[in-house]
Amino acid sequence: MADQIEIKDLLVRAILGINDDERENRQDVVINLTLETDTRPAGRSDEIRDAVNYRTIAKRVIDLAEQSRYFLVERLAEEIARACLADERVQRVRVSVEKPSALRFARSVGVTIVRDRSDV
Protein backbone atom coordinates (compact mmCIF):
# COMPACT_ATOMS: atom_id res chain seq x y z
CA MET A 1 0.00 0.00 0.00
CA ALA A 2 1.25 3.47 -0.88
CA ASP A 3 1.54 6.31 1.58
CA GLN A 4 -1.46 8.60 1.76
CA ILE A 5 -2.06 12.33 1.95
CA GLU A 6 -5.57 13.25 3.04
CA ILE A 7 -7.42 16.48 2.40
CA LYS A 8 -10.59 16.43 4.46
CA ASP A 9 -13.81 18.40 4.22
CA LEU A 10 -12.77 20.92 1.60
CA LEU A 11 -15.81 23.21 1.36
CA VAL A 12 -16.47 24.98 -1.93
CA ARG A 13 -19.41 26.80 -3.50
CA ALA A 14 -20.32 25.51 -6.94
CA ILE A 15 -22.97 25.39 -9.64
CA LEU A 16 -23.78 21.69 -9.65
CA GLY A 17 -27.02 19.90 -10.42
CA ILE A 18 -29.86 19.45 -12.87
CA ASN A 19 -32.63 21.54 -11.29
CA ASP A 20 -33.21 25.15 -12.33
CA ASP A 21 -32.25 26.58 -8.94
CA GLU A 22 -29.04 24.48 -8.91
CA ARG A 23 -28.11 25.95 -12.29
CA GLU A 24 -28.50 29.50 -10.97
CA ASN A 25 -27.38 29.41 -7.34
CA ARG A 26 -24.09 28.21 -5.96
CA GLN A 27 -24.39 25.56 -3.29
CA ASP A 28 -22.06 23.99 -0.77
CA VAL A 29 -20.05 21.03 -2.00
CA VAL A 30 -17.79 19.04 0.33
CA ILE A 31 -14.74 17.33 -1.16
CA ASN A 32 -12.50 14.73 0.45
CA LEU A 33 -9.31 13.48 -1.20
CA THR A 34 -6.91 10.67 -0.46
CA LEU A 35 -3.76 10.92 -2.57
CA GLU A 36 -1.60 7.82 -2.76
CA THR A 37 2.07 8.60 -3.23
CA ASP A 38 5.52 7.67 -2.02
CA THR A 39 6.36 10.10 0.79
CA ARG A 40 9.80 8.61 1.48
CA PRO A 41 11.78 11.11 -0.64
CA ALA A 42 10.20 14.05 1.21
CA GLY A 43 10.52 12.26 4.53
CA ARG A 44 14.26 11.84 3.99
CA SER A 45 15.04 15.26 2.52
CA ASP A 46 12.54 17.52 4.34
CA GLU A 47 12.27 19.49 1.07
CA ILE A 48 8.99 20.54 -0.56
CA ARG A 49 10.41 19.80 -4.01
CA ASP A 50 10.39 16.10 -3.04
CA ALA A 51 6.78 16.14 -1.83
CA VAL A 52 3.34 16.25 -3.35
CA ASN A 53 2.37 19.83 -2.64
CA TYR A 54 -1.12 19.36 -1.22
CA ARG A 55 -1.68 23.11 -1.08
CA THR A 56 -1.21 23.33 -4.85
CA ILE A 57 -3.57 20.40 -5.40
CA ALA A 58 -6.20 21.85 -3.05
CA LYS A 59 -6.06 25.20 -4.86
CA ARG A 60 -6.42 23.44 -8.23
CA VAL A 61 -9.45 21.51 -6.93
CA ILE A 62 -11.06 24.62 -5.42
CA ASP A 63 -10.63 26.57 -8.66
CA LEU A 64 -12.01 23.67 -10.71
CA ALA A 65 -15.07 23.20 -8.50
CA GLU A 66 -15.87 26.89 -8.15
CA GLN A 67 -15.67 27.45 -11.91
CA SER A 68 -17.56 24.28 -12.83
CA ARG A 69 -21.06 24.15 -14.19
CA TYR A 70 -21.47 20.37 -14.25
CA PHE A 71 -24.83 18.71 -14.03
CA LEU A 72 -23.65 15.58 -12.20
CA VAL A 73 -21.63 15.00 -9.05
CA GLU A 74 -20.02 12.08 -10.90
CA ARG A 75 -18.58 14.43 -13.54
CA LEU A 76 -17.17 16.81 -10.94
CA ALA A 77 -15.55 13.88 -9.11
CA GLU A 78 -14.01 12.62 -12.36
CA GLU A 79 -12.54 16.03 -13.20
CA ILE A 80 -11.17 16.42 -9.68
CA ALA A 81 -9.47 13.02 -9.98
CA ARG A 82 -7.85 14.10 -13.24
CA ALA A 83 -6.62 17.33 -11.63
CA CYS A 84 -5.05 15.39 -8.76
CA LEU A 85 -3.40 12.88 -11.08
CA ALA A 86 -1.85 15.75 -13.06
CA ASP A 87 0.89 15.60 -10.42
CA GLU A 88 2.92 12.60 -11.60
CA ARG A 89 3.84 11.67 -8.04
CA VAL A 90 0.19 10.92 -7.25
CA GLN A 91 -0.24 7.24 -8.12
CA ARG A 92 -3.91 6.90 -7.17
CA VAL A 93 -6.62 9.16 -5.81
CA ARG A 94 -9.84 8.58 -3.93
CA VAL A 95 -12.31 11.44 -4.44
CA SER A 96 -15.53 11.94 -2.50
CA VAL A 97 -17.89 14.73 -3.50
CA GLU A 98 -20.95 15.46 -1.38
CA LYS A 99 -23.86 17.86 -1.73
CA PRO A 100 -25.17 18.57 1.77
CA SER A 101 -28.42 20.13 0.56
CA ALA A 102 -29.24 17.64 -2.19
CA LEU A 103 -31.75 15.44 -0.43
CA ARG A 104 -34.31 16.32 2.19
CA PHE A 105 -33.90 14.38 5.46
CA ALA A 106 -30.32 13.35 4.56
CA ARG A 107 -27.15 15.00 5.85
CA SER A 108 -25.69 14.77 2.35
CA VAL A 109 -25.60 12.80 -0.88
CA GLY A 110 -22.44 12.09 -2.78
CA VAL A 111 -20.22 9.81 -4.78
CA THR A 112 -16.80 8.31 -4.18
CA ILE A 113 -14.49 7.24 -6.99
CA VAL A 114 -10.99 5.82 -7.15
CA ARG A 115 -8.75 6.53 -10.14
CA ASP A 116 -5.10 5.75 -10.86
CA ARG A 117 -2.52 6.71 -13.44
CA SER A 118 -3.94 4.26 -16.02
CA ASP A 119 -7.22 6.23 -16.02
CA VAL A 120 -5.66 9.44 -17.39
Give long-range contacts, CB 8 A cutoff, 24+ apart: 106-114. 108/30, 109/73, 110/30, 110/73, 111/73, 111/74, 111/77, 112/77, 113/74, 113/77, 113/78, 113/81
Annotated catalytic residue: which of 61, 99, 102, 115? 99
Whether 99 is catalytic is yes
Residues annotated as catalytic are 99
